[in-house]
Amino acid sequence: MGRCVVAFAPGHISGFFKRVDGNSLSDTGSLGAGIVIGKGVKVSMRPAKKTAISVKGNVTDTAFLTDAVNALGITAEVFAEAELPIGAGFGMSAAGLLAAATAANRLFDLKMSSHDIVSFAHSFEVEHGTGLGDAAASAAGGIDIRTAPGVDGVSKRLNSDETIYAVSLGELATPGIIRSPSIMQQVHDAYPEKTPETLEELFSASRSFAEKSGLVTERVRMLLDACDAEGVAASMTMLGEGVFAAGERAPAVLSRFGCVYSFPVSKTGPVILEDSNV
């Protein structure tokens, strides 16, 4: 079968964000903060005469990955598996791009630095309207604080051993939201003034942002109200119709509304899991 490289990249939940347009794709992005999560996308890649993409789980758009592989200037057989729903605010698009670029770099000796890989994923996301800050955030682990737009926007990463829980109620059309001037103005006006220093402060700032931004849907409202009634720290996943939460009572409350996902705060960014000849 030949050589196979397997790479993994973590997902990301944005708690709050603000779009910033720069002079290029690399310096266009968002300010904000969020959580790099321990579940993401795994990509297995082999050399091939013609690119072929197959997917499993929650990834449905093979054209997106096909375009990314073509942009890297390679032909490969690619198998991608997402551990969480795509389009639901878990940063799966960015994770898929980071994992694919990481695998391709090793397999084809593209001589891309870690920064090059993140820059590729970030620019591709911005160009296609699938995200603004997830790729830069998922370049490493922790709770990310993004104080500048673009690839180098993360100024601080906070550590946390807390388990994060989430429920996805459905997708939101990310391109339509981040390309809407009126919605982006609402988001801009809702942006928190204070930078969070702890996970607790992140939840507080994220919830305030969600309420003021006008992005909370009716179904998300019901879930947030239920969390409030039980004293559970929670907010809306940005951008997805879902809720993320923390604390002992979080799983019980979230389970009333759907399948509960649980994951640690990731300690790392993209990694090579396997490089073998089979």
Among the ranges given (32-46, 50-64, 183-197), the one the predictor scored with the smallest mean pLDDT: 50-64
- The range of the structural domain enclosing residue 246 comes to 161-264
Question: Averaged over 216-237, what is the pLDDT?
Answer: 97
**Same-domain check for residues 120 and 195:** no
Alpha carbon distances (Å) from 50 to 1, 69, 73? 15, 11, 12
Strands 143-146 and 76-82: unpaired
Tell me what pLDDT residue 271 has: 98
Alpha carbon distances (Å) from 73 to 25, 104, 220, 245? 19, 10, 41, 40
**pTM (predicted TM-score):** 0.94
* pLDDT tier for residue 239 given thresholds of 50, 70 and 90: confident
User: How many C-beta atoms surround the C-beta of residue 154 within 10 A?
Assistant: 22
In angstroms, rounded to a whole number, what is the distance separating the alpha carbons of residues 174 and 25? 17
**Same-domain check for residues 143 and 165:** no
Tell me what pLDDT residue 2 has: 86
Residue 275 in this model has a pLDDT that exceeds 60: yes
Find how far residue 139's CA is from the centre of its chain: 10
Percent of the chain with pLDDT strictly greater than 90: 84
Residue 59 in this model has a pLDDT that exceeds 90: no
CATH of the domain at 248: 3.30.70.890
**Same-domain check for residues 18 and 32:** yes
In angstroms, rounded to a whole number, what is the distance separating the alpha carbons of residues 193 and 189? 10
In angstroms, rounded to a whole number, what is the distance separating the alpha carbons of residues 259 and 141? 25
Residue 252 in this model has a pLDDT that exceeds 80: yes
SS3 at position 18: strand
Tell me what pLDDT residue 56 has: 81
Tell me what pLDDT residue 61 has: 63
Residue 60 in this model has a pLDDT that exceeds 80: no
**Same-domain check for residues 21 and 152:** yes
Tell me what pLDDT residue 69 has: 96
Tell me the DSSP string of 153-194: -EEEEE----EEEEEEEE---HHHHHT-HHHHHHHHHH--SS
- Under 8 Å CB-to-CB from 112, ≥6 apart: which residues? 101, 105, 120
**Same-domain check for residues 8 and 144:** yes
CATH of the domain at 151: 3.30.230.10
Residue 118 in this model has a pLDDT that exceeds 90: yes
In angstroms, rounded to a whole number, what is the distance separating the alpha carbons of residues 149 and 122? 11
- Under 8 Å CB-to-CB from 167, ≥6 apart: which residues? 223, 242, 243, 254, 257, 258, 259, 260, 261
Beta strands in the chain (DSSP E): 3-20, 29-47, 52-57, 76-82, 143-146, 154-158, 163-170, 233-236, 241-246, 260-264, 271-277
Residue 110 in this model has a pLDDT that exceeds 70: yes
Tell me what pLDDT residue 37 has: 98
**Same-domain check for residues 109 and 8:** yes
Q: Three-state secondary structure along 21-37?
A: CCCCCCCCEEEEEEEEE
Tell me what pLDDT residue 58 has: 55
Tell me what pLDDT residue 63 has: 83
Alpha carbon distances (Å) from 76 to 45, 168, 183? 6, 32, 39
Instruction: Indicate the burial class of 141 (C-beta count within 10 angstroms; 0-12, 13-18, 19 or more).
Output: buried
Condensed to tens digits (0 to 9), the pLDDT of residues 62-107 reads: 788 899 999 999 999 999 999 998 888 999 999 999 999 999 999 9
Compute the chain's Rg from CA coordinates.
Answer: 18
Residues β-bridged to residue 269: none
User: How many C-beta atoms surround the C-beta of residue 44 within 10 A?
Assistant: 19
Instruction: Indicate the burial class of 23 (C-beta count within 10 angstroms; 0-12, 13-18, 19 or more).
Output: exposed
* pLDDT tier for residue 169 given thresholds of 50, 70 and 90: very high
Q: Give the Cα-Cα-Cα angle 5, 70, 139 (nearest 5 degrees).
A: 55
**Same-domain check for residues 145 and 228:** no
**Same-domain check for residues 152 and 170:** no
**Same-domain check for residues 88 and 102:** yes
Residue 241 in this model has a pLDDT that exceeds 70: yes
**Same-domain check for residues 23 and 94:** yes
**Same-domain check for residues 116 and 181:** no
Count of the separate structural domains present in the chain? 2
**Same-domain check for residues 47 and 184:** no
Greater confidence (262 vs 278) lies with 262
